[in-house]
Amino acid sequence: MTEESMDIDMSMPTNTVEEFLRMERMPHIWCPGCGIGTTVNCFAHALETSGLDLKKVSIVSGIGCTGRVAGYLKLDSFHTTHGRALPFATGLKLANPDLKVVVYSGDGDLTAIGGNHFIHAARRNVDMTVILINNFIYGMTGGQVAPTTPIGATASTTPYGNFEEPFNLPYLAESCGAVYVARWTAYHVRHATKAIKDALRKRGFSFVEILAPCPTLYSRRNRLGDGLDQMKFYRDNSEVKNDADTKTVGLSFQGKVIVGKFVDKDKPTYLDSMNAFYAQKFGDKYSPYKG
Amino acid sequence: MADTEQKKKGLGSVVINAERCKGCGFCVEFCPTHCLELSEQYNAKGYHPPVLTLPEKCTGCNMCGLLCPDFAIYGFLFKKKK
């Protein structure tokens, strides 16, 4: 061992993730035990291995804890108004179709305030990647109930527990027309990295939901321990079911978490359908829109 | 902000930036070979950063680097000199 170790190069490599991040802004604002930083790590690794030209990748975020991601990534980034990340991203894509547009936002931002935009962006099949970090609650504003809060979970606005039916986000995305739908948790880092990479390569509205622990508001108020306990829960209670029917993957309070890649299909995108339709309608008079 | 240098043993090693750590313990809990532990020492913010206690067991798989929410640790493989 000692003779062999003489041949070993001891120069330490640098962290490959750091070139995708604005390290001058670190440490970030996320709480100890929060899973959002882990998902950013996965995203940076996915970008690194995807081989995309970083000058043609832009990231759009809304408001909230996850909305801060746009500020920490060293890409062209938009930090938009609350819930309007998808309209900004749609405009960005239509103005410059060469861009790879990534929307990185939270569950409250994308499915509550921006819920209408979400269903229409998926319906039109605008070519973009949506990464939704689901922490079951409005984290930044003080732990109010969100459309993803499971029945029975306590939030600051539901002190006796939530009684509203939560969204089943993979089902919502698939039924609205998303071409790629996957769900992973912050524990499944390698799977999530691969899912983000696949979603970045996919043409059309690709949707990746990642469940992340919120130790300060969700876990503490529901007496579920800290972020590490939530990660252990994801490890012990997740079941990988690729190609599962999205109707069956709804989440319940501390129940089984079904993860996997649920949908992967091909459909013409918004610009493809527009160009094909007008070319058929107007023939040679129409020149296809290229930005 | 000093990257702590670890002893040369095993297949790989980790680099820990103790000042960036928030002590969540993800790396310690989910290390596949259980070669990390939370240190007794505090960093400037009052958290316990991880230390590599069993360097001979580290395989440099970078699982800790993928899980770390604060970009404070990463694994690497030793390369042979040419």
A41 touches A17 (CB < 8 A): yes
Task: Write out the DSSP string of chain B.
Answer: -PEEPPPS-SSEEEEEEGGG-----HHHHH-TT--EEE-SS--TTS---EEES-GGG-----HHHHH-TTS-EEEEE-EE--
**Does the residue A207 lie in any domain?**
yes
**Does the residue A236 lie in any domain?**
yes
Sole residue written with tokens 């790989």: B12
Q: What is the CATH number of the domain that holds A266?
A: 3.40.50.970
Query: Which residue ranges make up each domain of chain B?
Result: 21-77
Any CB–CB contact under 8 A between B81 and chain A? yes
Q: In this structure, how many other beta carbons lie within 10 angstroms of the beta carbon of residue A41?
A: 26
**Does the residue A21 lie in any domain?**
no
**Does the residue A116 lie in any domain?**
yes
Q: Which residue from A minimizes the CA distance to B7?
A: A10
**Does the residue A120 lie in any domain?**
yes
Q: Which pLDDT value is given to residue A2?
A: 47
pLDDT 10s digits, A176-235: 999 999 999 999 999 999 999 999 999 999 999 999 999 999 998 898 888 899 999 999
Any CB–CB contact under 8 A between A30 and chain B? yes
The 3-state DSSP class for residue A103 equals strand
Do the Cβ atoms of B8 and A18 come within 8 Å? no
pTM: predicted TM-score of the whole model, two decimal places: 0.89
Check whether the bond before A87 is cis (ω within 30° of 0): no
pLDDT 10s digits, A23-33: 888 888 999 98
Q: Mean pLDDT in chain A?
A: 89
CA A113 from centre of chain: 16
Q: Containing domain of residue A124, as a range? A: 35-285
> In the predicted model, what is the mean pLDDT of residues B37-63?
89
**Most A-contacting residue of B6, B48, B64, B70 (CB-CB within 10 A), to test interface:** B70
pLDDT 10s digits, A86-110: 999 999 999 999 999 999 999 989 9
State the total domains in chain A. Answer: 1
Domain B21-77 falls under CATH 3.90.1690? no
**Does the residue A81 lie in any domain?**
yes
Q: In this structure, how many other beta carbons lie within 10 angstroms of the beta carbon of residue A164?
A: 12
**Does the residue A2 lie in any domain?**
no
Backbone angles phi, psi at B54, to 5 degrees: -125, 75
**Does the residue A12 lie in any domain?**
no
Nearest-Cα distance to chain B for A146, in Å, is 24
CA-to-CA dists, residue A146 to A117, A126, A140, A260, angstroms? 17, 26, 12, 23
The answer, yes or no, to whether residue B9 has pLDDT greater than 70, is no
Do the Cβ atoms of B81 and A34 come within 8 Å? no
**Most A-contacting residue of B26, B63, B82 (CB-CB within 10 A), to test interface:** B26
